Amino acid sequence: MSNYIMDLRKTVGHRCLLQCAGSVIIENERGEVLLGKRTDNHLWGYSGGSIEPGETVEECAKRELFEEMGLTAGELEFFMVNSGPEAHYIYPNGDEVDNVEIIYLCRDYQGEIRAQEEELEEIRWFRKEEISMDMISPPIRPVFRKYLEQDF
């Protein structure tokens, strides 16, 4: 969780926050997608997180990818904005958010894959046909529905 969001939580507690985020879906040359299994709800997702004050969405997306998965993103391709009722989420600790998430695709990356232990239990590549909605973290399911429909 970003320092900005942690500071806000000290004031508002678990009340709903509007959370702006930058995220990256990493795809390899075989068309597989890199997902991390979250430590809080034990479901899978791509890297992403809250934008810090003064940070661009692209900077946030790249920072989160490096922090969570150890990869450095090159070129990012805009994919979609995830917002609205399906992006609303209550975390297992009771924190409530309405997400406005800008998601990018990235096939241009480097580095050694490693999981940020505080946030991810495991990281692995998935073929698209291996992904089912019940394994994906709820607020990003709309993104995966669209992603799995695409033929890149």
**What tens digit of pLDDT does each residue of 43-74 get?**
999 999 999 999 999 999 999 999 999 999 99
Residues paired with residue 38 on neighbouring β-strands, in sequence order: 120
Least Cα distance to 61 among 83, 41, 43, 78 occurs for 78
**Which option is the CATH number for 24-149: 3.90.79.10, 3.40.50.1980, 1.10.3720.10, 2.30.30.30?**
3.90.79.10
Q: Specify the pLDDT at position 5.
A: 86
What is the token pair recorded at 82? 């995830």
Q: Specify the pLDDT at position 4.
A: 86
Domain boundaries defined on the chain:
24-149
DSSP reduced 3-state for 87: helix
Q: Specify the pLDDT at position 152.
A: 56
Which residue is listed with tokens 């975390």?
91
Q: Specify the pLDDT at position 11.
A: 92
Residues of the chain with pLDDT under 50: none
